[in-house]
Structure 1
Amino acid sequence: MSRSQLVAEHLPLLRRYARALTGSQASGDAYVAAMLEALLQDPTLLDEQHGPRVGLFRLFTQIWNSVSLNDDTDVVTLTMPPERRLSNLTPLPRQVFLLLSLEGFSEEEVSFILKLEVEEVRRLAEEAGREMAAEIATDVLIIEDETFIAMDLESLVKNLGHSVIGVARTHADALALAKNRRPGLILADIQLADGSSGLEAVNDLLKSFEVPVVFITAYPERFLTGERPEPAFLISKPFQPAMVSAVASQALFFQRNSRNRTARAAVS
């Protein structure tokens, strides 16, 4: 495959990322065009050490961080689409959040794209989670039977600016807690204390209301083979707090985005 074909293959994803990063398609495309112009002038700028897609995002990041094109300085408000509200995030945390959550890069790939240490990527992901939570803070239900893990999750969620409605150790506990106060986000284990299933508990809750779900489990294969909700997010134990922060914010962000699209479609 030629260099131009490689670039063309990944261009739609790069334009999506640029739009989310800058706040508008026009502004994002201006940066993509500047990157392509630089690449035409000097093809050696594309570092394919981790593959062409990672190399393109690395080069785009260098362009975005070094020049100002069609800078969108409009005030961003909660009435605007979620991709516009991302502009409220400070630049580096915004980039880390989008690269991890929207584009699905690994921490190591994000480290290469942004020229940062992996530890710094994790710190920035946590910072992004806190900043995103300020936009979309909600009530969180934790379904987890291991006491210390539940405490860690509760502390993490509160540090992000969310509130915790309770910690459920069993299927029955989860249903009881959600009946008293409907959560805006669920963090759930799959294998619970009494042998019951967190996956089944979540599916029962989703019969009554919609809510984004993040499964945090040592048994990811059970998630893959069970009747799982869609969309749902999966984190394997042991987990990095930064990953929980980024994925929880991702779940809330795209749930809000989906609701806004549905509402706009209904109006039109």
Structure 2
Amino acid sequence: MSLGAEVAAHLPFLRRYARALTGSQATGDAFVQATLEAALADEDLANSLRGGRVPLYRAFNKVWSSAYLEPGVDQGELGQHEAAAQDQLNKITPLNRQALLLTTVEDFTPAEASAIMGIAEADVRTLVQEAVEEIDRETTTSVLIIEDEPLISMQLEDLVQSLGHEICGTAATRTQAQKIVAERTPGLVLADIQLADGSSGLDAVDDILAIDSVPVIFITAYPERLLTGDRPEPTYLVTKPFQEDTVRAAISQALFFGSSHPLN
């Protein structure tokens, strides 16, 4: 397999990680693009990308870390949401969130995350634990679940409530979601994309966002179809079947960045 084909196979998932890390499609995709441009300009870096996702994420991490640590970044060139996201990252511990996202959303082992981040495996485990503790301190909110599979909906309900949040309502169709939101606007939405009656979770979310700006996490069995970078796409995506820690991390990120439009 050529290097280009090997890298291309992993790009949708690197975009997912970059967007969750930065809280923005535009900013996350820009860091991915910067990583690819750096590889094109450096033959040694390009060759280092062979061998699966770990080398690619490690290269991305170097680009992101150097930009994050750069004190002279001109935020005047960023959009309002991107600047707000960067301000938030400057206030907390990004390494904790990085470790959590790598080991939950991206499903790397602590050893792989260690190689990506360039720190000891024990430090990765410590960072993840600290991130979980930080999540537990998040402000509680009301959550709307849009999901047409009853067992998954119940699983999400239990998880959301275990994190201290309340359920605003559950909906299996766009129409049901509209009825719930008409009575109460949620503070967070967990939405499947393909719903029971053939309606779209994307359309249901658009209905909600027409009323108020609410953080949204989309859940789908085919995330790569929504991570091409060719159009406005969701910032927060969870892949089915999911691990509860993955949803937990996504909820933390979405609430951390606040009520930003999920299609940036």
The interval holding the TM-score normalised by the smaller chain is: 0.5 to 0.7
- Cα offset for 1:55? 8.3
Runs of 4+ in 1 over 6 A off after TM superposition: 55-58
Tell me how far apart the structure 1 counterparts of residues 146 and 232 of structure 2 sit (CA, whole Å). 15
For residues 218 and 242 of structure 2, what CA distance do their matches in structure 1 show?
Answer: 11
Structure 1 segment 82-231 matched on structure 2, within 5 A:
82-83=88-89, 86=92, 95-101=95-101, 107-108=108-109, 109-112=112-115, 113=117, 115-116=120-121, 128-129=131-132, 131-220=134-223, 223=226, 231=234
Query: How far apart are 1:125 and its partner, in Å?
Result: 5.3
The alignment of Structure 1 onto Structure 2 pairs a total of residues equal to: 180
Matched AA of 2:182: K
Residue by residue over 1:54-99, the C-alpha shift from the partner in whole angstroms, topping out at 9 and shown as x without a partner, is 38979xxxxxxxxxxxxxxxxxxxxxx6446646xxxxxx744234
Whole-Å Cα distance in 2 between the matches of residues 125 and 173 of structure 1?
37
Give CA deviations for 1:200-222 in whole Å, capped at 9, x if unaligned: 11112111110111111124366
Question: What CA RMSD, in Å, does the superposition of the two structures yield over aligned residues?
Answer: 4.0
TM-score normalized by the length of structure 2? 0.55
Q: Quickly say closer, same or farther: Cα 1:180–1:229, change in 2 above 3 A.
A: farther
- Mapped pair 1:54 → 2:55: no
Relative to structure 1, is the Cα distance of residues 157 and 52 closer, same or farther in structure 2, using a 3 angstrom cutoff? Answer: closer
**Equivalent position amino acid for 1:160 in 2:** L
Greater C-alpha Rg: 1
Q: CA deviation at 1:236?
A: 1.3
Q: Which deviations, in whole Å up to 9, do the C-alpha atoms of 1:142-171 show, x marking residues without a partner?
A: 000111111111111111121111110111
Inter-partner Cα distance in structure 2 for 1:245 and 1:98: 14
Displacement of 1:194 in angstroms is 1.5
- Please list every run of 5 or more consecutive structure 2 residues that lacks an aligned counterpart in the other structure: 1-21, 23-50, 63-86
Deviation readout 1:214-252 (Å, 9 max, x if unpaired): 111124366458x98655311110111111111111111
Contact 2:226 2:233 in 1 (8 A): no
Letter in 2 for 1:202: V
Query: Residues 2-47 of structure 1, C-alpha deviation per residue, up to 9 Å, x if partnerless?
Result: xxxxxxxxxxxxxxxxxx9xxxxxxxxxxxxxxxxxxxxxxxxxxx
Structure with greater contact order relative to length (CA < 8 Å, sep ≥ 6)? 2
Change (3 A) 1:228 1:185: farther
1:187–1:216: 8 Å Cα contact kept in structure 2?
yes
The separation in 1 between residues aligned to 2:181 and 2:162, in whole angstroms, is: 22
1:229 to 1:150, Cα distance in 2 relative to 1, 3 A: farther
Structure 1: distance between partners of 2:191 and 2:179: 15
- Structure 2: how far apart are the matches of 1:177 and 1:158? 18
